[in-house]
Amino acid sequence: MFKDPKRNVVIALYLATFLAAIEGTIVSTAMPIITSELKGAHLYSWVNTIYLLAMVVATPLFGKLSDIYGRKRLIMLGTIIFLLGSALSGIAWSMYSLIFFRAIQGLGAASLMTLPMIIITDLYELEQRSKIQGWLSSIWGVAGILGPLVGGMLVDYVSWRSVFYLNVPFAFVALALLYKFLPGQAERKQTTIDYAGIFTFSSGILLLLFGLNQFAESEASMPIRILYLVVMVVGAGLLVLFRNVENRKQEAFMPMEIFRSRQFLFILISGLVVSIINVAIIFYIPLWMQHVNHASATMSGSIMIPLSILWPIGSIVAGNVTVKLGIKRMIVLGCIFLCAGSIGMASISMSTSYVLVMLYIACSGFSFGILLTALMILSTMVASQKIRGASMSAVQLFRTLGQAVGLVIFGLFLYSDTENTQYSLHLHESLHTIFMMIGVLSILLSIYMVWIAWTEKGEYSSVFDGKAAIAAKQK
pLDDT of residue 97 exceeding 60: yes
DSSP string of 263-330, one letter each residue: HHHHHHHHHHHHHHHHHHHHHHHHHHHHHTS---HHHHHHTTHHHHHHHHHHHHHHHHHHHHH-HHHH
Encoded amino acid at 199, one letter = F
* Three-state DSSP string of 84-100: HHHHHHHCCCCHHHHHH
Nearest-angstrom CA–CA distance, 159 and 161: 5
Residue pair 114/396 in contact (Cβ under 8 Å)? The answer is yes
pLDDT (0 to 100) of residue 475: 44
Q: What is the pLDDT of residues 35-84, one digit of tens each?
A: 778 887 677 777 877 888 888 888 888 888 888 888 899 999 999 999 99
pLDDT (0 to 100) of residue 186: 56
Q: What is the pLDDT of residues 109-127, one digit of tens each?
A: 999 988 988 888 888 887 7
pLDDT of residue 234 exceeding 90: yes
pLDDT (0 to 100) of residue 48: 78
Q: What is the pLDDT of residues 348-389, one digit of tens each?
A: 888 888 889 999 999 999 999 999 999 988 888 887 767 777
Mean pLDDT, range 87-105, rounded to an integer: 93
Q: What is the pLDDT of residues 11-41, one digit of tens each?
A: 999 998 888 888 877 887 777 788 778 887 6
Nearest-angstrom CA–CA distance, 368 and 370: 6
pLDDT of residue 449 exceeding 90: yes
Higher-confidence residue of 140 and 451: namely 451
Higher-confidence residue of 444 and 471: namely 444
pLDDT of residue 320 exceeding 90: no
pLDDT of residue 2 exceeding 70: no
Mean pLDDT, range 92-108, rounded to an integer: 92
Q: How wide is the angle at C-alpha 168 spanned by C-alphas 90 and 107, nearest 5°?
A: 75
pLDDT (0 to 100) of residue 401: 85
Q: What is the pLDDT of residues 197-225, one digit of tens each?
A: 888 888 888 888 888 777 766 566 777 87
Higher-confidence residue of 95 and 252: namely 95
Nearest-angstrom CA–CA distance, 235 and 257: 23
pLDDT > 90 in the chain, percent: 27
pLDDT (0 to 100) of residue 136: 81
Q: What is the pLDDT of residues 252-303, one digit of tens each?
A: 777 787 888 888 899 999 999 999 998 888 878 877 877 777 777 667 667 8
Count of beta carbons in the 10 Å neighbourhood of residue 174: 26
What's the mean pLDDT when you consider all of the chain?
83
Which candidate, 330, 418, 329, places its Cα nearest to that of 366?
A: 330
